[in-house]
């Protein structure tokens, strides 16, 4: 018989697991979210309790990744926090080094809306110059959605009209009710699974790194470690952008505050 109750000791196990793997600190208020997101996996495997599912993910790496995907997926949308895109257009891009490829990292790219928003901005401002957008996330499932680049048509309302006309394609047939991005734009965007809570792979240096609306889930020590890893990948003179509700206060980072939520590497 299925026990649909997520007991406190079971919730504690999942909290410890996601903190160990992703550095995410889940408050007691997230108990219902954890129960809801994992319930379908219990049903899928014919398990009778959350404790049985925890035992399963302790033994199977593939199912552990599924659990991590379910518990780390966060909401995002196109051109979220518009002021950051205005800052990139008005301040950052005019100061770029001519002739050098301009690289931007969306360090918690989720389903890709941030990365493609950046790509539309760069395509508009830099045209055929050398530029690229790199997106990363811990969730393989959400990265598959980012690479597919298919979004509900109601999300077009978040995209500036000129960009919608220039870079977006309305789905037809089996893709009716959805839209995608123009192929040339998508070729400038790549995605890779990266756990920011671990040693970073060799991905090169970047002119801009965005780590927005992620640190709110981290404890102070995890924030310090993640920011230090990413700052190492930032070119001198490069920009580090966090969410409007976040800051690097209390952290050792070696960056200079340019305005709230925006920092620069000397």
Q: Would you name the residues annotated as active-site residues?
A: 37, 137
CB 243 within 8 A of CB 216: yes
Q: Three-state SS for 104?
A: strand
| Residue 206, beta-bridge partner list | 234
Count CA atoms closer than 13 A to 165's CA, side-chain side.
3
DSSP conformation class of 92: I
- For 229, list phi and psi in degrees, rounded to 5: -60, -45
Indicate left, alpha or beta for 149 from its phi (over 0: left) and psi (-120 to 50: alpha): left
Under a CB-based contact definition with an 8 Å cutoff, are residues 212 and 115 in contact? Answer: no
65 is written with which tokens?
């990744």
Q: Which residues contact 101 (CB under 8 A, 6 or more apart)?
A: 130, 131, 132
CA distance 264 to 127: 25
Q: What is the rounded distance in angstroms from the CA atom of residue 237 to the CA atom of residue 259?
A: 15
CA distance linking residue 64 with residue 67, whole number of Å:
5
């Amino acid at each position: 018989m299925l026990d649909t109750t997520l007991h406190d000791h079971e919730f504690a196990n999942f909290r410890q697991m996601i903190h160990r793997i992703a550095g995410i600190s889940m408050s007691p208020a997230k108990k219902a979210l954890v129960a809801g997101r994992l319930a379908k996996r219990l049903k899928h495997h014919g398990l009778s309790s959350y404790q049985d599912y925890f035992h399963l993910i302790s033994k199977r790496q593939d199912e552990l990744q599924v659990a991590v995907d379910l518990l780390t997926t966060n909401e995002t949308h196109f051109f979220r926090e518009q002021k950051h895109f205005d800052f990139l257009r008005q301040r950052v891009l005019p100061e770029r080094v001519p002739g050098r490829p301009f690289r931007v990292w969306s360090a918690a790219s989720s389903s890709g809306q941030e990365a493609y928003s950046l790509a539309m901005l760069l395509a508009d401002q830099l045209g055929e110059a050398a530029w690229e957008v790199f997106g990363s996330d811990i969730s393989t499932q959400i990265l598959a959605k980012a690479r597919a680049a298919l979004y509900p048509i109601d999300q077009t309302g978040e995209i500036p009209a000129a960009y919608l006309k220039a870079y977006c394609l309305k789905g037809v047939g089996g893709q009716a009710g959805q839209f995608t991005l123009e192929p040339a734009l998508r070729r400038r965007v790549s995605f890779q699974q990266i756990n920011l809570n671990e040693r970073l792979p060799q991905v090169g240096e970047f002119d801009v790194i965005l780590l927005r609306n992620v640190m709110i889930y981290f404890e102070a020590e995890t924030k310090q470690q993640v920011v230090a890893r990413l700052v190492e990948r930032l070119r001198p003179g490069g920009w580090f952008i966090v969410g409007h509700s976040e800051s690097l206060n209390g952290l050792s980072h070696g960056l200079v505050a340019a305005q709230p939520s925006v920092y620069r590497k000397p």
